[in-house]
Amino acid sequence: MEKYSITTAIDYVNGEPHIGHAYEKILTDVLSRHYKKRADKTFMLTGTDEHGIKIQKTAKSLNITPKELCDKNASAFIENWKLLDIDYSKFIRTTDSYHKKTVQDIFEKLLENGDIYKHKYKGLYCSGCECFLAEKDLDEAGCCPIHQKKPDVVEEENYFFKLSKYKEKIKEHIKNNPNFIQPDFRVQEVLNQLEDIEDISVSRAKTNVEWGIEVKSDPTQVIYVWIDALSNYITALGYDVNGNHGQNFIDFWPVNYHIIGKDILKFHSIYWTGILMALGVELPKGIYAHGWIMIDKNKMSKSTGNVVSPKSVMEAFSLDKPDSLRYFMATSAIGGKDGNYSDDDFKEKVNADLANNIGNLLNRSLNMLVKYFDGEIKEEFINDSLVKETNTVIKEVLDLFDKMDITLAASKIVSLADEANKFVSEKAPWALAKEGKLDECGKVLYSVLNLMIKVALLIEPFCPNIAKDMALQLKTDINKKYFEIEDYMLKTGKLISKEEIHPVFLRLDSEIAGKSKKN
């Protein structure tokens, strides 16, 4: 694979990041890290959406400027992603000067091409969604179904994008490209939404919304979210309306995937697609809509007070590294459905998979190697036990990533450690050593440790710190590409001493878990 690029949705900075934001960033980062082991060049984009009436109102209530509010909350997102080891290539803020300039140029180009027109409009506006809603979109009480509030009746003169002009073309693209919208059960939902699609407002009167990017040719208007926020995917890469694109745009557009929440699929699959068609820009290869993360099976809500932040989870469990949270979140939802977080589920899953399974297997295998062979791998230990099974799982994991089935891919990796644990139980290397069958004992330990090198390489996108620690003890390069994986990767000679052995992951309920930073 020559190149792979992926984006998250950009987060609205009206508040601080919660575990739902973290889920999307972790999922995207796991994908990006996986493909770093398969592609020559990769790019991951994330960032923040920083304009609109909500930010304007919140800043006013706090007696600060909108930019001050954006700076404060954007910093919180950056801090949290650093805490979670999100290895993005670029972080865009829609208040960045280059973004604002290119957005203005995009607006003027669409206006010049006749894809934008000015129109007086009266409609139902949900400030929570920051969009106009049709009456059919409301619930029985006349409220926005997401924010449970009645929309405001807004009457003003705005610029509109001729989305209806591209309706049939969008429909045709979706039908001719079955992988464009994923998971596939979302496709019909989008096609149904397309049936009633109308032109969309792409500006707001400055008398109503001051905090935004001005329309260059009409300073009485500010550019609305559909062109401002959505355009981040190309402005961040260096798109230029005159074709003088930056190198990142040349290298990484179209992206392999936009990773977004299911609640904004319509805006990406229809609105953004229409805008790109109007600009004559190639469409992204895919849009993946993930579900929401529930808290103890309830939807997160400020009003119910069940909003959980990634930082609070790490502090509650005294985590020095984010690997356990990354692993749990990346595997918490299946196939684009909703996932669930609870402290008990978190502890149970990571203890079972990371501590009891992978971590314990590596630790006891290395200790037996030291006990019986002074930590040395001898030439006569090399054998092909577990190699065939491992190669099968490696292929399955790569295929599952290509199908965006990250949860099942993780379970396949863990199944390798399961297989090795069963192998150890059946072969009982401690008994073989006691009986004086040292060559047979050595072969068992070689098979397991050789397999664990591959587990480390495969689990690295989920758990970069644990994988690095595993690789260090197994004397292998964690940055190896997947095509460099060989049948026999465990090197002969002195592997490890007793002093070098340490647990790569402690159980979350262990008395010493999380205490290392205090000692």
For tokens 């595993």, the residue is: 470
Residue 519 has pLDDT above 60, yes or no: no
Instruction: Give the model confidence (pLDDT) of 81-132 as tens digits.
Output: 999 999 999 999 999 999 999 999 999 999 999 999 999 887 788 877 767 7
Angle in degrees, CA 194, 47, 79, rounded to 5 = 140
432 backbone dihedrals φ, ψ, rounded to 5°: -60, -40
DSSP 355: I
Contacts by residues 127-134 (CB-CB < 8 Å, ≥ 24 positions apart): 127/53, 127/54, 127/151, 127/152, 128/54, 130/52, 130/53, 130/54, 130/225, 131/225, 131/267, 132/200, 132/201, 134/196
DSSP 8-state secondary structure symbol assigned to residue 484: G
- Give the dihedral of Cα atoms 212, 55, 13, 182; nearest 10 deg: -70
How far is it, in rounded angstroms, from Cα 366 to Cα 500? 10
Active-site choice (122, 136, 297, 302): 302
- pLDDT tens-place string over residues 355-373: 999 999 999 999 999 999 9
How far apart are alpha carbons 272 and 348 in whole angstroms?
41
pLDDT at 152: 86
Return the residue matching tokens 């969009």. 131
According to DSSP, the residues that pair with 6 across neighbouring strands are 44, 257
pLDDT band at 490 (very low <50, low <70, confident <90, very high): very high
Architecture category of domain 342-500 in CATH: Orthogonal Bundle (1.10)
Cα end-to-end distance, the chain, whole Å? 45
Would you list the DSSP string of 118-151?
Answer: EEEEEEEEETTTTEEE-GGGS-TTSS-TTT-SPP
Q: Which of the following is catalytic: 37, 51, 100, 129?
A: 129
Domain boundaries, the chain: 342-500
- Written as six digits, the tokens of 462 are 């989920």
21 is catalytic: yes
Report d(CA 102, CA 184) in Å as an integer. 33
Is 126 among the residues known to form the active site? yes
Q: What is the pLDDT of residue 141?
A: 85
Helix (H, G, I), strand (E, B) or coil at 80: helix
For residue 516, pLDDT beyond 50: no
Banded pLDDT at 513 (limits 50, 70, 90): very low
Q: Which of 483, 505, 228 is nearest to 363 (CA)?
A: 505
Q: Which residues of 472-492 are buried (b: 16+ CB within 10 A; e: fewer)?
A: ebbbbebebebeebeeebbee
More confident residue, 514 or 490: 490
- DSSP E strand stretches across 54-199: 90-93, 116-126, 131-133, 152-161, 181-182
The widest CA-to-CA distance across the chain, in whole angstroms, is 90
Q: Is the pLDDT of residue 377 over 60?
A: yes
Annotated catalytic residue 147: yes
Q: How many residues does the chain have?
A: 519
* Helical packing angle, 406-427 and 360-373, nearest 10°: 30
What is the rounded CA–CA span in Å between residue 97 and residue 272?
22
Q: Does residue 129 have an active-site annotation?
A: yes
DSSP state of 292: P
d(CA 258, CA 275): 15
Does the structure show a pLDDT above 60 at 159? yes
- Taking Cα atoms as reference points, which of 338, 339, 462 lies closest to residue 401? 462
Question: Which pLDDT score is estimated for 518?
Answer: 34
Whether the link from the prior residue into 178 is cis, omega within 30° of 0, is: no
For residue 317, which amino acid is it? F
| Residue 399 CA, distance from chain mean position | 18
Does residue 510 carry a pLDDT above 70?
A: no
Q: What is the pLDDT of residues 232-285, one digit of tens each?
A: 999 999 999 999 999 999 999 999 999 999 999 999 999 999 999 999 999 999
The proportion of the chain whose per-residue pLDDT surpasses 90, expressed as a percent, equals 86
The one catalytic residue among 70, 131, 144, 441 = 144
Catalytic residue among 34, 36, 100, 126: 126
Q: Is the pLDDT of residue 517 over 70?
A: no
Q: Element (H or E) spanning 66, and its range?
A: helix 66-83
Catalytic residue among 299, 498, 502, 515: 299
Residue at token pair 């290895």: 87
- Any idea what DSSP says for residue 162? -
pTM score: 0.93
Considering the candidates 67, 119, 147, 337, report the single residue annotated as catalytic: 147
Residue with tokens 């400055």: 206
501 pLDDT higher than 80: yes
Backbone Cα Rg of the chain:
26
Tracing tokens 């501590």 back to the chain, one arrives at 355
Distance CA 12, CA 73 (A): 9
Cα 269 from Cα 282, distance rounded (Å): 14
CA dihedral sign, ordered 504, 506, 511, 515: positive
| C-alpha–C-alpha distance, residues 474 and 441, integer Å | 18
For residues 54 and 127, the answer to whether their CB atoms sit within 8 Å is yes
Residue 152, Cβ density class (10 Å: 0-12 exposed, 13-18 middle, ≥19 buried): exposed
